[in-house]
Homo-oligomer: A and B are copies of this chain.
Amino acid sequence: MTATAPAYPIESIRERAQPVGATLWLTGLPSAGKSTIAAALADRLRAHGIAVEVLDGDEMRTLLSPDLGYSRADRDANVARIGWVAARLARHGVLVLAPVVSPYQAARDLVRRTHDQAGVRLLEVHVATPVEVCSVRDVKGLYARQRAGDLHGLTGVDGDYEEPAHPELRIDTSDCTVDDAVDRLLALLRKENVL
């Protein structure tokens, strides 16, 4: 946590009677911490009675997109579907957290347009943990499989990852705790008038 990160008392999270629907989209490499900080943020918000839906990229593949693989077209289709569902939920006042690798800028831009068309906010967060840290964490064993030659096209290693040029926030989880990351996301949501 840097010295400039805001102190954020959880008692003051909720200022509105009704939350403003919006999507917080977390993009980054595998094991960057996207799902972990989304789950921790969801817990914090739910404890305050705020309606949250987590659309986790990996879970969505099982539930919504069992047909999709890891080609660029399939990755983009997965991102587009999650974006579409997120926008539908957000326009009914739900705060959607979407931890999704989403390596291509064009697909992320499409998600933004989908939200613009639905009249709801999209906040893009780049979980910018360096690949050296992600590959040591290796929560799902993907980096090990890539090194062993079992897996090709791993995002950020031998597969593309296009960093967002102008995300609303960048978080490197190698130099902050989960709680610190959640504080920074909450600060963003308040700054953008979502909370």
Contacts and interface: CB of A to CB of B under 8 A. Distances in A.
A80 to B, nearest CB: 9
Contact of A94 (B63, B64, B92): B92
A67 B67 contact: yes
The residue in A53, A63, A88 that gathers the most chain B C-beta atoms within 10 A of its C-beta is A88
Interface string A43-82: 0000000010100000000011001000000000100010
A67 to B, nearest CB: 7
7 contacts: A51-B92, A63-B84, A64-B81, A67-B67, A88-B89, A89-B92, A92-B94
Interface residues of A, number: 14
A127 to B, nearest CB: 23
Interface in A127-168: none
Interface of A: 51, 53, 63-64, 67, 77, 81, 84-85, 88-89, 92-94
A88 to B, nearest CB: 6
A77 B81 contact: no
A84 B67 contact: no
Given A53-B92, A67-B67, A85-B88, 15 more contacts: A51-B92, A51-B93, A53-B88, A63-B84, A64-B81, A64-B84, A64-B85, A67-B77, A85-B85, A88-B89, A89-B89, A89-B92, A92-B92, A92-B93, A92-B94
A121 B81 CA distance: 24
A48 to B, nearest CB: 16
Contacts of A84: 63-64
Q: What 6 A-B pairs come out closest when comparing CB atoms?
A: A92-B94, A51-B92, A85-B85, A64-B84, A63-B84, A64-B81
A147 to B, nearest CB: 33
